[in-house]
Amino acid sequence: MKVEMEDVDDSTLCDSVSSLVEGCRLPVHMKGTSDWPLAEIVSIKDLDGLKVYYVHYVDFNKRLDEWVTEQSLDTRKVHFPRKDAAPGTGVSTPKKVQIGSGISNSGQVSRPASPVSTNSELLNGNAVLAAALQKKINRKRKGPSLEGEDSQDGPPSQQSAATGGPRQSGSMVSHHDDIVTRMKNIEMIEIGPHRVRPWYFAPYPQEMVHLACIYICEFCLKYRKSRKCLERHLIKCNLRHPPGNEIYRKDNISFFEIDGRKNKVYAQNLCLLAKLFLDHKTLYYDTDPFLFYVMTVFDHRGFHIVGYFSKEKESTEDYNVACILTLPPYQRKGYGKLLIEFSYELSKFEGKTGSPEKPLSDLGLLSYRSYWAQTILEILLSAKPIGENEKAQITINEICELTSIKKEDVISTLQNLNLINYYKGQYIITLSKEIIQQHYKAMETRQIRIDSKALHWTPKDWGKRAKW
């Protein structure tokens, strides 16, 4: 395995792992692969006399962060934290790092550099809860997100709880003390028949964090310490579907609309569950200004949660989605695009164009780009020429009206697909045979679609309603 680095004056040969400290960067063997990508040591602890290291693989998504032993560390080339680095910035990344085939699946930097020290005692939900509740008490407006796309490499905006008007970016919580949220704190969850290993930190109560598994009721989403506790809960729990209005049903798929103010406990538990699989973006406890649209599949036992998206009751930026998630057991089955399609169907009923709040997760970005491309190509291929021997004509605004996709997203999608050409003073959209074939092939895999006739929903004008 070749390791090539440039401009690494802060690197030294390290004879012993005993000199390693939090903030060091070095090649680490990634479990399940033969690669040794550059990783940063986030935390070090003794586990029954064995020293273990929590590492983040640089330029990889945080979901791949893990605990490793010293056997997985390549101490021949270590980058120690620079003494002159500003507090909280960690070690600076070399200009060029080429380590094996260590390429991020998302092709994105997952987050800024790490703090140079980590206090594991702060890694609990109580600290996050206190911060979130304090923000709710202060009720101060924060600034909007500056990130322009839905990757996870941008800084999350502050969560606002203003009462004087709609929020700029209400779904995201940013922690000034990044130490709190840097490490996964839940080992395993069990929800319904599924056991799932979480991807990220979630602020569950401290007494739940050190359990081997957290047991979650798949209907009301309350969490319990053991399966026996869950079984006792299920005897009393009379919910067999999310506690809201069923606004869509087609075959075995239903959508329920949940008001974050009327069903606060359910909404908070939903956000806790979602935070296990969303990194930068999710609200925690101030759910009042949000609606939650939960997608379920139905069988003889009830309505089982598949995924959801949240939406601000009022959005100054025309966001039609705040957070969106398909739970891991249901991913790669078409449900993600169904959630996105449903959000745009709601926008059509409202007579608006919409866009997801930024940033989205890396997986969310892939789903949205794919949905936008397929939806816009459907419109283009169905456009009819006005007369014989003439090409079909359609404007960007007409595409927006037909799809409810915001203008910027339509333009960026056409550009990403290289469909726009400038010819004789006007823009021409050119569809190659290859693009058309790829589109039809992709559409064959979309077995489930939203049927607008199965949606029974009337938009509310939240601006005219009493403030919460």
**Domain coordinates in residue numbering, the chain:** 22-72, 184-359, 369-385+392-451
Quote the CA–CA distance of 409 and 393 in Å, as a whole number. Answer: 20
Of 9-23, 193-207, 231-245, the least confident: 9-23
Whether 224 has a pLDDT exceeding 80, the answer reads: yes
Query: Which member of 22, 147, 312, 357 is catalytic?
Result: 357
Quote the CA–CA distance of 69 and 64 in Å, as a whole number. Answer: 16
* Residue 322 phi, psi (nearest 5): -100, -65
Architecture, CATH, for domain 22-72: Roll (2.30)
- In percent, the amount of the chain with pLDDT more than 90 equals 59
Taking residues 246-253, report their average pLDDT: 97
465 band by pLDDT with thresholds 50, 70 and 90: low
pTM reported for the whole predicted model: 0.76
The residues, any chain, with a CB within 8 Å of residue 395's CB and separated by 6 or more, are none
Considering only residues 122 and 435, tell me which one the structure prediction assigns the higher pLDDT: 435
Residue 290's identity, in one-letter code, is F
Taking residues 318-332, report their average pLDDT: 95
- In percent, the amount of the chain with pLDDT more than 70 equals 74
Query: Do 22-72 and 184-359 fold alike per CATH?
Result: no
Neighbours of 146 (CB within 10 A): 11
Taking residues 382-401, report their average pLDDT: 84
Q: What is the model's pLDDT at position 283?
A: 62
Strand 302-312, strand 324-326: pairing? antiparallel
Whether 351 has a pLDDT exceeding 70, the answer reads: yes
CB 170 within 8 A of CB 312: yes
Whether 137 has a pLDDT exceeding 80, the answer reads: no
Whether 96 has a pLDDT exceeding 60, the answer reads: no
Q: What is the model's pLDDT at position 39?
A: 96
Of 36-40, 109-113, 331-335, the least confident: 109-113
At the top level of CATH, which class does the domain 184-359 belong to? alpha beta
361 band by pLDDT with thresholds 50, 70 and 90: confident
Whether 109 has a pLDDT exceeding 50, the answer reads: no
Q: Which two tokens stand for residue 195?
A: 């056991």
Quote the CA–CA distance of 345 and 449 in Å, as a whole number. Answer: 11
Local structure of 179: helix, strand or coil: helix
48 band by pLDDT with thresholds 50, 70 and 90: confident
Mean pLDDT for the chain? 79
Nearest Cα residue to 21 out of 49, 43, 52: 43
- End-to-end alpha-carbon separation of the chain, Å? 59
Considering only residues 400 and 102, tell me which one the structure prediction assigns the higher pLDDT: 400
Q: What is the model's pLDDT at position 159?
A: 31
Taking residues 104-125, report their average pLDDT: 38
Whether 148 has a pLDDT exceeding 70, the answer reads: no
Quote the CA–CA distance of 366 and 150 in Å, as a whole number. Answer: 9
Of 142-146, 179-183, 227-231, 443-447, the least confident: 142-146
Q: What is the model's pLDDT at position 292?
A: 97
| Rg of the chain on CA atoms, in Å | 24
Would you say domain 369-385+392-451 falls under CATH 3.30.420.10? no
Q: What is the pLDDT of residues 187-220, one digit of tens each?
A: 999 999 999 999 999 999 999 998 999 999 999 9
357 is catalytic: yes
